[in-house]
Structure 1
Amino acid sequence: MDKILPIALVLSLISCNTPIDKNDGVFFAGEIVNPTNEYVVLFKGSTALDSAKLDDNNRFAFQLNSVEDGLYHFNHSPEQQYVYLERGDSVWIRLNTLYFDESLSFSGTNEDLNNFLLEVFLANEDVEQLMYSEYYELEADEFSEKIDALRKDKLQTLEELGKEKELTEMAHSIAEASINYTFYRYKEVYPFKHKGKLKEKELHDLPSNFYDYRKNVDYGDSNLTYLRPYYEFMKTHMGNLSYMTCSESCDKINGAIKNHLHFNQHKLGMIDSLIGEKELKDNLFRNVAFNYLLREHNAPDSNKVFIDEFQKISGNNMHIKEIENLYQGIRNIQPNSPVPNIDVISIEDDTVSLPTLTEDKNVVFYFWSGADKNHYQNIFSRVKELQKQKPGYEFIGINIKTDDTNWKAIVKKFDFDTNSQYKANDFEQITEKLILVPMNKCVIAKDELIVDAFSNIYWNNL
């Protein structure tokens, strides 16, 4: 993978967009190979600051007159990644969407820090494999020694970088947090993973100093709110604390929570009491709500209790509309409910409504996007298996977020019956009404009525 932006690209960007002088703002630009969208959008937290359209050479550029130092993230739908920017920076990126994170490289000012943050992020995949293959089986003391050694090694690399390149206090703090919270999360999940690996019924007792790192946890650092290791740690940490302190009414059987409503109410209270930063708190509340509502989609009475509790605790949540739409959407697609009246586009560019596709037959709707080649190849392979196993069903593919040319080319390449392939006309509408999470989901329908709106293409429940 290229680690330095090609000189020709750098020169062309400089000639067309001269970076702004130190302390005046930020110049952020780059090239995207195999783009999946026409735009790149730059965010600070949850706020979209600006969007840039790709030119004929798939290049983009932002020139921002006034920014605050800190962590930003850029979105090239459906992918995103973060970038650290300071006033006066000129930063370039290059990436190939076929290998989005793995191909991403930074050059220009702050390139060392941004590439370091990216390397920490990518290295986490290898560490995850190590955890599952070896470390989670270890007893707690040995596990802690291994984890601490890995963490200190990464921190040493950061210190060496700091000696070579002058890092601001904020830049160093964010890089250090990306390391610490990555490894803190492994300790949070250890007792549960250890129990699972050893196939034991109860969690092990832990040494009294096992969670000593929690003394260093900052529950309200706004600079870390959108740092992925920090956010992933907080999700796991809140779940762990809730589990460990939950009363007997949580109904634990063989160490597993059975009363999910009570447990998630408890988790909401834990987040509310510990988290001080508003956006982090809102994001964690959203995570709890989505996980609970999607998991308990077939429990409308409990869901009503949960959503009432949620609105009481976090009625001013910045995601409240999205959460309420999810709740209502789940209610609308319970068994025997009408198939939502959503328009899709046929290969011949005709508009068709989903209910009409289910008249007098058993239908399985499945979903895919041209942006994820591995996913749609696996989905197509699975569908071909099911077509042989379940001849009484018609399998209808619904494409989302792919331009017409690529969509039709992919359908042709895999030799599907074109009468069974459609494209979503309105991505937000179909996502909201059919709750397209996860992407492996499928919707089973018959005679314009929902049979099961929360099935999975890999399950054997047809």
Structure 2
Amino acid sequence: MKIHFLSFIVLLTLIGCKNDNNNSEHNYAYLGGQIINPNNDFVVLSKNDMVIDTIKLDNKNRFLYKITNLDEGLYTFYHGGEIQMVLLEPKDSLIFRLNTLEFDESLVFTGLGDKKNNYLINEFLENELQEKKIFKFCQLKPHVYQRRIDSLKQLKTERLNEFKIKYNTSELFNRIAQGNINYGYYSSKEVYPFVHFGTNKAAILKSLPSNFYDYRKDINYNDKFLKDYQYYNSFLRYSVNNLALKNHLHHSNEDSFSWNSICYNLDRLNLVDSLISSAVLKDDLLYHFTSNYLSKSSNTENNNVLLNSFLSKSKDDVAKDKMKRFALSLNNLKVGSAFPSTIIVDTNDSELDINSLLKSPTVICFWSHSYIEHFKEIHYKISELKIKYPEVKFIIINTDNNNQKHFKTALKENRFDFKDEYQFKTPLESVEALAIQPITKTIIIDKNQKIVNSNSNLFSIKFEEQLLGAINR
């Protein structure tokens, strides 16, 4: 399409208006957009974890797609590792414009259906900022904390009610927007015992007002409508953490709570198995909690115990195979092991085995366009560490499965040096082989090319101590 973006908006609106009078074919929606600094040349559209289509961008990085036989609700569009949801209802003609370097923050909708989607994306961004406040509020006493988050919920509810009246919103939108508020509020309640200072979680639970968790009696832990909804899924994870904590404290002899307790983590899987009947939700939670534990544990025996528990409960054969490969990769990265042979590509498109670079104490860390703030933060941090530890080599690897152009563009636009910057030749295989989960994973190697720590973190208070240990070996 050789039209300007403004003309693109007008055309899409006219298409929606023209079809508006055709009652025989009203169950459709248009979705289109323009992507600045695209990471590849396509967008993937899906709903309920089922891919609807892969849509090619034109030569101006735009697309326009008609969904016929629309199943109204939340749809997901995926581009270059980033995911965002849109609400589509009959006769919507929705387009967006975004910049991949600031994905969520740059996302703006226009066209028929824009008001409700701009409302939802603004709520999403506000909740990200509010989360930091919530974590600070968690240090307050329970009754004070409850007043604070009750007040936040009230403000959000009033704002939503005003929006509903002004734009005469649909029942579907109202349900999703209210779910936003409710499940964000419930999550704030569920995280309190964990974020509140102190390791005596039993005492914290006893200090809570008797009605603190009254809303739980009305929760559907198997809601099919909300199963793909981010706030609902986040709530389920927080709630399982909390309910499992209560069960764990009944039989635990541990003096203080630890996320790494194998007993607690087994309690979590057992709770998921008994509480959740929806196969999709159960398998997702089992996978999340198991991979989270394995990615942070260096105890092979405990890893095997939790893995076996997961395998006995999950019904998802693909997830089970993936988890077994993940556990195997972690075992191959044990302390004292040689770093696996891995082909990387430098900024001149030259291929080399990473082991050819490991001639001194080395730190290997990773980044992805999906986590742009982390990308910036690790580069700032490494700049400081290079001055402090000149004898250490720092290798920074982009994990995205796209071409060199986007990798180098991100470095250029943020004025980062190309030195020590690489990509994987085969990203998907390498990410799995090195068990890169989460993206903050950092690997420390000694001068003998042996792994000292395969699961460090540049921002951990223990990182420099771990690095000094590798230097002095």
Q: TM-score range by the shorter chain?
A: 0.7 to 0.9
Shift of residue 117, structure 1, vs aligned partner: 1.8
- 1:16, 1:87 → 2: CA distance? 13
In the alignment, does 2:22 pair up with 1:9? no
For residues 349-360 of structure 1, the aligned pairs below 5 Å read 349-358=349-358, 360=359
Identify if the C-alpha distance between structure 1 residues 32 and 305 changes in structure 2 by more than 3 Å, giving closer, same or farther: same
Query: What code does the residue aligned with 2:125 have?
Result: L
- 2:411, 2:34 → 1: CA distance? 28
| RMSD of Structure 2 on Structure 1 (CA) | 3.0
Say whether the 8 Å CA contact 2:47–2:75 is kept in structure 1. yes
Shift of residue 58, structure 1, vs aligned partner: 1.9
Identify if the C-alpha distance between structure 1 residues 182 and 408 changes in structure 2 by more than 3 Å, giving closer, same or farther: closer
CA deviations over 1:411-434 (Å, ceiling 9, x no partner)? 6754454xx333211111121111
Provide the residue aligned with 1:392 in structure 2. 391
- 1:415, 1:169 → 2: CA distance? 51
Q: 2:107 aligns with which of 93, 101, 104?
A: 104
CA deviations over 1:77-128 (Å, ceiling 9, x no partner)? 2221111112332211222223322222223333232222222212213432
Say whether the 8 Å CA contact 1:70–1:223 is kept in structure 2. no
For residues 360-371 of structure 1, the aligned pairs below 5 Å read 360-369=359-368
Shift of residue 303, structure 1, vs aligned partner: 0.7
- 1:34, 1:240 → 2: CA distance? 41
Provide the residue aligned with 1:283 in structure 2. 284
- 1:421, 1:182 → 2: CA distance? 38
Provide the residue aligned with 1:378 in structure 2. 377
Moved more, 378-387 or 204-213: 378-387
- 1:443, 1:177 → 2: CA distance? 40
Q: Secondary structure at the match of 1:224?
A: coil
- 1:205, 1:127 → 2: CA distance? 24
Provide the residue aligned with 2:268 in structure 1. 267
Say whether the 8 Å CA contact 2:80–2:369 is kept in structure 1. no
Q: 1:31 aligns with which of 30, 34, 44?
A: 34
Identify if the C-alpha distance between structure 1 residues 103 and 199 changes in structure 2 by more than 3 Å, giving closer, same or farther: farther
- 1:410, 1:110 → 2: CA distance? 32
Shift of residue 129, structure 1, vs aligned partner: 3.5
Q: Secondary structure at the match of 2:378?
A: helix
- 1:10, 1:355 → 2: CA distance? 51
- 2:253, 2:337 → 1: CA distance? 32
- 1:162, 1:318 → 2: CA distance? 42
Say whether the 8 Å CA contact 2:296–2:455 is kept in structure 1. no
- 1:259, 1:200 → 2: CA distance? 15
CA deviations over 1:22-67 (Å, ceiling 9, x no partner)? 5342211112223233221112122222121222222122222223
Provide the residue aligned with 1:212 in structure 2. 214
Identify if the C-alpha distance between structure 1 residues 19 and 41 changes in structure 2 by more than 3 Å, giving closer, same or farther: farther
- 2:316, 2:376 → 1: CA distance? 42
Q: Secondary structure at the match of 2:433?
A: helix
- 2:370, 2:216 → 1: CA distance? 39
Unaligned runs of 5+ in 1: none
- 2:371, 2:190 → 1: CA distance? 31
- 2:370, 2:64 → 1: CA distance? 23
User: How many residues are treated as equivalent by the alignment?
Assistant: 451
Query: What code does the residue aligned with 2:68 have?
Result: N
- 1:121, 1:370 → 2: CA distance? 19
Q: Which structure has more RCO (C-alpha within 8 Å, separation ≥ 6)?
A: 2
Shift of residue 18, structure 1, vs aligned partner: 9.8
Identify if the C-alpha distance between structure 1 residues 280 and 210 changes in structure 2 by more than 3 Å, giving closer, same or farther: same
Q: Secondary structure at the match of 1:60?
A: strand
- 1:275, 1:220 → 2: CA distance? 6
For residues 406-425 of structure 1, the aligned pairs below 5 Å read 406-408=406-408, 413-417=415-419, 420-425=420-425
Say whether the 8 Å CA contact 1:251–1:259 is kept in structure 2. no
Q: Secondary structure at the match of 2:90?
A: coil
- 2:5, 2:90 → 1: CA distance? 24
- 1:431, 1:356 → 2: CA distance? 19
Q: 1:175 aligns with which of 174, 177, 199?
A: 177
Provide the residue aligned with 2:126 in structure 1. 123
Moved more, 212-221 or 439-448: 439-448
Provide the residue aligned with 1:90 in structure 2. 93
Say whether the 8 Å CA contact 1:293–1:303 is kept in structure 2. yes
In the alignment, does 2:161 pair up with 1:159? yes
Say whether the 8 Å CA contact 2:364–2:396 is kept in structure 1. yes
Identify if the C-alpha distance between structure 1 residues 283 and 199 changes in structure 2 by more than 3 Å, giving closer, same or farther: closer
In the alignment, does 2:65 pair up with 1:62? yes
Moved more, 52-61 or 373-382: 373-382
Identify if the C-alpha distance between structure 1 residues 162 and 347 changes in structure 2 by more than 3 Å, giving closer, same or farther: closer
Say whether the 8 Å CA contact 1:41–1:50 is kept in structure 2. yes
Identify if the C-alpha distance between structure 1 residues 99 and 143 changes in structure 2 by more than 3 Å, giving closer, same or farther: same
Query: What code does the residue aligned with 1:10 have?
Result: I
- 1:173, 1:319 → 2: CA distance? 31
For residues 406-445 of structure 1, the aligned pairs below 5 Å read 406-408=406-408, 413-417=415-419, 420-445=420-445
Shift of residue 71, structure 1, vs aligned partner: 1.3
Query: What code does the residue aligned with 1:161 have?
Result: F
Moved more, 67-76 or 12-21: 12-21
User: Percentage identity across aligned positions?
Assistant: 31
Q: Secondary structure at the match of 1:309?
A: helix
Say whether the 8 Å CA contact 2:295–2:438 is kept in structure 1. no
- 1:125, 1:363 → 2: CA distance? 34
Query: What code does the residue aligned with 2:108 have?
Result: S
* TM-score (normalised: structure 2): 0.85
